[in-house]
Amino acid sequence: MKRLAFLLLCLCFPLAWAGGTAAPKIDIGKGGQCVEETQWMRKNHMNVLKHQRDEVVHKGTREEKHSLKNCIECHASTKDNSVTARADSFCVACHANQAVKIDCFECHSNKRKSAWMQGTGK
């Protein structure tokens, strides 16, 4: 009995440790391949978005690849078409963990286009 408890402790400890330090649970969405390398995007997505916004708003040049709509087409959950609806939704999962607050979706749709075209989203 003692031996079993010891064995369980050895087996479970590394699992608990991995769970505690691993990245938050994220619903990646549709899948495919990101517009840039994943590791790089993890660190730089905010700059990509800010740059894209400046290009569109100040210079009037629009490139679909880095548009916010394009991100949402892929990253909205396949369950509810949203990037913000649940705790593991793509655009909120990491931010909650890091205490980052973004206001983007007060103006921009948080839903995949096909969803708001059907009138199910905003």
Interacting residues with ligand HEC (CB under 6 A): 26, 28, 31-35, 38, 41-42, 45-46, 48-49, 52-53, 56-57, 66-71, 73-75, 83, 90-91, 93-95, 98, 100, 102-104, 106-108
Burial label, 88 (beta-carbon count in 10 A; 0-12, 13-18, 19+)? middle
Least separation, in Å, of the C-beta of 17 and ligand HEC?
A: 20
**Residue closer to ligand HEC (CB basis): 10 or 23:** 23
Least separation, in Å, of the C-beta of 75 and ligand HEC?
A: 5
Question: Please, which residues bridge with residue 111 across strands?
Answer: 82
**Residue closer to ligand HEC (CB basis): 4 or 23:** 23
Least separation, in Å, of the C-beta of 102 and ligand HEC?
A: 5
Q: How far is CA 119 from the centre of its chain?
A: 23
What does the block give as tokens for 10?
A: 């050895």
All residues at 6 or more sequence positions from 71 whose CB lies less than 8 Å from its CB, including other chains: 35, 45, 49, 83
